[in-house]
Structure 1
């Protein structure tokens, strides 16, 4: 809460989430991500270049149990991974 008693809104993470799918395809880059993002179908690796943890989910709606990728780290993602969100 702020000094005036109003809730402080959540802010987007600073930095990028970079997703690799396959050779010879462009990287998917999410600048200053906020909220839930559906991953490209062929995603194989996610790199967290933000200042906050990123959660990777098996469904496209950020609802199932997740793994957490800390800032400055990357992770392979399961073949049918559906989405990610920023804490």
Structure 2
């Protein structure tokens, strides 16, 4: 019985470690850059992962990462999206709220 508990605990630990490694590996390498207006500095997201709210005046998003970026119309990265491939950019529709990697 004790051996079964040890085996189950070992397997559970391996699954948890694998899950954490996969999460850490999901961050994109590079930058996402957002242009707003000629009078504001670029907003840069280094090695982004997960969901990020876009600045209110976002106008153009450039994907300089190694992963596709999705642009959403709401601030929660939900609903329909537009995909921007690595090395490309896209105009951001007025009111677009977020992007995810």
TM-score (norm 2): 0.78
Q: Which runs of 4+ in 1 moved over 6 A?
A: none
2:22 is aligned, of 3, 9, 19, to 9
Choose between structure 1 and 2: higher helix proportion.
Answer: 2
How many aligned positions are there?
Answer: 83
The within-5 A match list for 1:1-80 is 4-5=14-15, 6-7=18-19, 8-10=21-23, 11-80=26-95
Greater RCO structure (CA 8 Å; 6+ sep): 1
Name structure 1 gaps, 5 residues minimum: none
Q: Secondary structure at 1:30's aligned position in 2?
A: strand
Choose between structure 1 and 2: higher strand proportion.
Answer: 1
TM-score (norm 1): 0.90
Q: CA deviation at 1:33?
A: 0.2
In structure 2, distance between residues paired with 1:65 and 1:79: 15
In structure 1, distance between residues paired with 2:79 and 2:60: 19
In structure 2, distance between residues paired with 1:47 and 1:65: 19
Name structure 2 gaps, 5 residues minimum: 1-13
In structure 2, distance between residues paired with 1:56 and 1:70: 11
- Computing the radius of gyration from Cα coordinates, the structure with the larger value is 2
When the two chains are superposed, the root-mean-square deviation of aligned CA atoms in Å is 1.1
